[in-house]
Copies of this chain bind each other. A is one copy, B any other.
Amino acid sequence: MADETLRIYVENSRERDPAYRITEEAVRRALSPVALPAIIDVRYGDERDERAIRAAHVFVAGRLDMGMLSAWGERLRIVHCTSAGVESYMPLDWLPPGAVLTNSSGVHAAKAGEFGLLAVLMLHQGIPAYATLQRQHRWQRSLSSTIAGRKVLLYGVGALGGAVAERLRPLGLDIVGVRRSGEPHPAVGRTIRPDRLADELADTDFLILACPLTPETKGAIGRAELAALKPGASVVNMARAAVMDYDALAGLLVERHLSGAILDVFDREPLPETSPLWDVPNLFITPHVSADDPHGYVDRCLAILAENLARQADGLPLRNVVDGRHGY
């Protein structure tokens, strides 16, 4: 890149909510603290400029066209994805040589932390069950005590899971984190590796999924794991649908082994009107709203990019680099 002016190409999608549109002004605003002059192209995906992409050092988009990037990305150094989940881009064999893929993991943290807090309080106070009873016009009290002392099993303690733990901690919960690295986290009482999961299920009150979707996490919470949870336990999925077996979950809710569930993510989104999940008792459905926060979203994504450009200029290691071996 050396003495060349930095060239940044941004691709927006017309289908996406305008709140997520990246403007040239937003990019300039993000770059201003790092004082990097740049030529910035901002276009929609349906009006691609091959020449500009072939000249670009940095490509930014919410959804990546891997074939196109592989063909035209000869000068790319950074492909920055404005989402956190990158499972659909694995393996990274399409990535131009010399380029890294960076994601926006972390931009969802504040919102996701509040959603996790809400979800656990909802489960503890039986809200999914009250929603089911309301559909039937049934008044049936089930008194809960305060939440302190209950055990949360937090599957995934990255940006999302960590933010959830930080919000839950003041409630006096016993939080056990499941982490590939097994590394401790300041907001989590105890961390285990995934291979010790089975030991933790029988006394878990609330299981929260907040992991990326990777070959390792796919199907990790199957029928056996759900059935091994403490009777009356409940679950939240704010990760990806493929991490959990929803058929098994529905069965265990019907049988009342589990007392409630909140699902925010589905194999097909929007969840089709005909899905049987809508009517599963004590299952509360939210339409993939656990993490997205349009307010300041673009700025937070671009701040990660700007920081990386500054690091690159200084020869420092980049942050949020996706690791093809782990899939996130």
Contacts from A to B (Cβ < 8 Å): 17, 19, 110-111, 114-115, 117-118, 121-122, 125-127, 130-131, 133-135, 137-147, 170-171, 269-271, 273-275, 278, 284-289, 292-296
Contact = CB atoms under 8 A, between A and B. Distances in A.
Which 3 residue pairs of A and B lie closest in terms of their CB atoms, listed nearest first?
A139-B270, A145-B295, A118-B121
B134 A278 contact: yes
A273 B288 CA distance: 32
Given A114-B146, A145-B294, A287-B130, A273 B122 contact: no
A269 B171 CA distance: 31
Question: Interface SS of chain A: helix, strand, loop or mixed?
Answer: loop
A289 B141 contact: yes
A141 B295 contact: no
A146 B110 CA distance: 7
Contacts of A170: 170
5 contacts: A110-B146, A126-B289, A131-B134, A142-B289, A145-B293
A143 B111 CA distance: 10
Q: Looking at A134, A142, A271, which has the most chain B CB atoms within 10 Å of its CB?
A: A134
A57 B273 CA distance: 65
Contact of A125 (B17, B118, B137, B288): B118
Contacts of A19: 143
A29 B173 CA distance: 29
Contacts of A143: 17, 19, 289, 292-294
